[in-house]
Amino acid sequence: MTRARILDAAAHMFRHKGYALTRLSDIAKRARTRTSSIYYYFESREAIVTEVLRIANEQTAQFVLDAVSALPPDAPVREKITAAMRGHFAIVLSGNQYTWAHMRIFDQIPPKLREHFLRVLDDYAEVWRNLLDEAKAAGEIRDDLDLSVVRLLMLGMMNWSIEWYKPSGRFTPDELASQAAILLFEGVGAKTTAKKRVKPQAKLPA
């Protein structure tokens, strides 16, 4: 299907060349079609990037929702958040062209388009808001933490893994999710198993 080929080609080009340097002719060449044929499906480059970003967001949300819904309905919230992390890492680290394009060009697109997609991304953020609200209500997250900050730091951490993760490395995406969950719920400080005993000071002579 030509429309799907155009979108796949656009995602590939946006990922590798960025938004500003990708021309319609680049997309057409990658899609094995003529530049003029693109206008039959899309009125502009902005229309193409809008669809690429929509697909990226939709696919990411679906991975996360599928991972959570695979759990039993009564699963503890920590398991739900760990599953959601597995879903997010799975799509981010899968080599998915749409997700990678989104990461590469989101800050490069025109402000008006970016404002639109910030509202679209907010729908996905709502999934994490609900999970973190549930975790806080269950006493799994400290009361003195702002959940918006927790969510943004958590998503930023997972998204940044695209820059350093190597498939041939020591961890699978699922194992990274488990590490991230431990980091979220337990922190990085060493656990204290017993209080240090303080040696009594010798009494000074009177």
Q: Inform me whether the pLDDT recorded for 4 exceeds 90.
A: yes
What pLDDT does 98 receive?
94
As a whole number of angstroms, the distance between CA 16 and CA 88 comes to: 22
Q: Inform me whether the pLDDT recorded for 14 exceeds 60.
A: yes
What pLDDT does 204 receive?
44
Higher per-residue confidence, 36 vs 201: 36
What pLDDT does 193 receive?
46
What pLDDT does 120 receive?
78
Q: Which amino acid is at 143?
A: D
Q: Which CATH number fits the domain 48-186, given the four candidates 3.20.20.105, 1.10.357.10, 3.10.20.30, 3.40.50.10090? A: 1.10.357.10
As a whole number of angstroms, the distance between CA 34 and CA 49 comes to: 18
What pLDDT does 110 receive?
87
Q: Percentage of residues in the chain with pLDDT exceeding 90? A: 71
What pLDDT does 132 receive?
96
Q: Inform me whether the pLDDT recorded for 73 exceeds 60.
A: yes
Whether 59 contacts 99, CB under 8 Å: yes
What pLDDT does 115 receive?
85
- What tens digit of pLDDT does each residue of 146-172 get? 999 999 999 999 999 988 998 887 899
What pLDDT does 122 receive?
83
The structural domains of the chain, with segments of one domain joined by +, span 48-186
Number of H helices, E strands in the chain: 9, 0
Whether 180 contacts 85, CB under 8 Å: yes
What pLDDT does 1 receive?
67
Comparing CA positions, the residue from 9, 4, 12 lying closest to residue 102 is: 12
What pLDDT does 41 receive?
94
